[in-house]
Amino acid sequence: MDYGHSEPSIPLALKILVAGGFGVGKTTLVGSVSEVRPLHTEEVLTTAGIGTDDVLGIESKRTTTVAMDFGRITINDDLQVYLFGTPGQERFWFVWDELAFGALGAVVLADTRRLADCFPSVDYFERRRIPFVVGVNRFDGARRFTPDAVRQALDLDPNVPVVSCDVRDRQSGKHVLVALVEHVAAKRGHPVPTR
């Protein structure tokens, strides 16, 4: 079919993942920085479906849906950033792997009251060499830890940025994303000049 010459240009879409334990603020972060209300897509987990071409005849009890939040930030006409919140349960690996494919990097959110909840996310991105930053979300009643204490507790590489944040606040959420993109650039050996 002829598209003529007026075909609208396709934006370059970069992908950033937001990971961390249940209730740590993933959905909140996506919502606070996104220009659209957080959207929601679902994928179906079909235990019997792997390697088959047809789900007819597969009992419905064998499927379950996995929700992914996402949001969008338009940088300019040609450039967009998509944020995807990973499903909280690490066993939904097939969704993680799809989300991680081609991702620019990840934000791992941590709650200092239950730091261990973000171990699987840290592991996941380390193993796949996907650049990430750790956002230490400030929850009321949580003891304040220095970034270095969190770095030590998580056994992070010295170059992984640890950023304190309150992801309910847009500016704070933005700050975490900037830290990630600067980290990605620094890993390439071409640090983004600061202002």
Chain positions contacting ligand GDP, by CB under 6 A: 20, 22-28, 85, 88, 137-140, 166-168
Residue 5 makes contact with other proteins by CB under 8 A? no
Cβ atoms 93, 75 nearer than 8 A: no
Residue 48 makes contact with other proteins by CB under 8 A? no
What number of residues does the chain have? 195
Could you tell me the two tokens for 179?
């830290």
Of 27, 32, 86, 172, the one binding Mg ion by CB under 5 A: 27
Segment contacting Mg ion (CB under 5 A): 27-35, 57-65, 108-116, 173-181?
27-35
Angle made by CA atoms 152, 157, 163, in degrees to the nearest 5: 70
Nearer to ligand GDP, 34 or 60 (CB): 34
Q: How far is CA 56 from CA 42, 47, 49, 91, 93, in A?
A: 20, 14, 10, 25, 24
Picking from 179, 178, 188, 145, the residue whose alpha carbon sits closest to that of residue 160 is 179
Cβ atoms 19, 26 nearer than 8 A: yes
Segment contacting Mg ion (CB under 5 A): 22-30, 36-44, 115-123, 132-140?
22-30
Using CB under 8 A, list all residues that contact other proteins: 1-4, 7-15, 22, 33, 39-46, 49, 52-57, 60-61, 63-67, 70, 72-73, 75-76, 79, 81-82, 84, 87-89, 91-92, 98-99, 101-102, 104, 170, 174, 177-178, 181-182, 184-185, 188, 190, 192, 195
